[in-house]
Amino acid sequence: MNTGRAGHTATQLQNGKILIAGGAANDNSSVSFSTAELYDPATNTWSATGSMATARAWHTAILLSNGKVLVAGGIDNDNDISSCELYDPAAGTWSATGALNTGRQGSNMVLLSNGKILIAGGHGGAGPNYTLSSAELYNTGTGTWTATGSMTAVRRNHTLTLLHNGKVLVTGGTVKYTTTVYNSAELYDPTTELWTATGSMTSPRTMHTATLLSNNKVLVASGSSATSFNPLASAELYDPATEIWTATGSMNTAGAGGSVVQLTSGNVLTVGGWNGTSALTDAELYNPTTAAWTNAGSMTTGRINPDVILLSNGNVLIMSGIYNMNGDPLTSAELYNP
């Protein structure tokens, strides 16, 4: 990459290119970037593209059905951001869209089956770094956000997963400035716009991963079970039909802050993370049929929270990430060939 970034977003465009937006020079930096860049898999090169109007880090981004990318929230100079922007790949430029009702950072977004965008949790509202339970909906037609039902708990470092039945599963997470790590999970129903509790995970988790499998179950793996850091190797499956969690095969290496992608084979690739001492180079594959994890070689560089994207040729692009506890970001990228 042209710039080392922490807290940025990586979004795969409809043309196959990867958009990197915002971030900060260091995981602990209060000053954010407005710049953006593109990776072209055809030429294996990075190039600058238009800059956002607002510098932001720890924001969230999602690809819309019209091919544009929505970027929402974030933080800069310790101020939570409510503004949102749209990136147009055809023009390579950004334009303003409706602002969030609550400035928030560290949130998650998901595209619902009705075409709206759901954002939930994170920090903001009453002041910097307050953990939120609130959620909002973005209407792509009007470009505006409206409040929707709040989660049953405030959450950060949680996951959002769109299920095949149209509901959204949220799992785990923490509360800022406390020792609370959740094992609870809840469901958002877009029809009623309400959240309801569902079965709890077998272990509290934060900084974990969640993947929707082809059999409709959700694989949750790794993470930490304590804010003081206790890396996990365990994994579990959520069954939407019964709303029950069951243990599945454990990973070979415990860690938190790894990243995950589902391959064309249906297997799930997990890479990187932090084991309490160093950034991991480990890569593992989960086979939903055998419920077992196998080693998938090692990355050339240890990475915490790397960006991981499945390319159209079946290879996986792994880029950036943090490489030490000082929060220093990487500019390097590598490719995994399944």
HEC-encoded secondary structure of 4-15: CCECCEEEECCC
Whole-angstrom Cα distance, residue 221 to residue 249? 10
What pLDDT score does 78 carry? 87
Read off φ and ψ for residue 131, nearest 5 degrees. Answer: -80, 140
Q: Are 248 and 232 in contact (CB under 8 A)?
A: no
The pair of structure tokens assigned to 313 is: 């040729």
DSSP E strand stretches across 52-162: 60-63, 69-72, 75-76, 79-80, 84-88, 93-97, 104-105, 108-111, 117-120, 123-124, 135-139, 144-148, 159-162
What pLDDT score does 125 carry? 66
Task: Show the CA angle centred on residue 87, arms to residues 123 and 106, nearest 5°.
Answer: 15
Global pTM reads 0.96
* Closest by CA position to 315, among listed 55, 62, 16, 57: 16
Cα–Cα distance list, 108 to 119, 155, 159, 189, 292 (Å) = 6, 10, 7, 16, 28
DSSP state of 157: S
The residue ranges of the chain whose pLDDT is under 70 are 125-129
Q: Are 130 and 176 in contact (CB under 8 A)?
A: yes
Whole-angstrom Cα distance, residue 170 to residue 43? 38
Whole-angstrom Cα distance, residue 217 to residue 259? 19
**Beta strands at 60-63 and 333-336: parallel, antiparallel or unpaired:** unpaired
Q: Are 196 and 189 in contact (CB under 8 A)?
A: yes
What pLDDT score does 128 carry? 46
What is the CB neighbour count within 10 angstroms for residue 53?
A: 12
Residues 6+ apart with CB under 8 A from 50: 36, 87, 91, 92, 93, 94
Place of tokens 């499956």: 237
Q: Are 221 and 235 in contact (CB under 8 A)?
A: yes
Whole-angstrom Cα distance, residue 197 to residue 149? 13
The pair of structure tokens assigned to 125 is: 């509202």
* Closest by CA position to 113, among listed 72, 63, 149, 163: 163
Read off φ and ψ for residue 12, nearest 5 degrees. Answer: -85, 125
Place of tokens 């419920």: 291
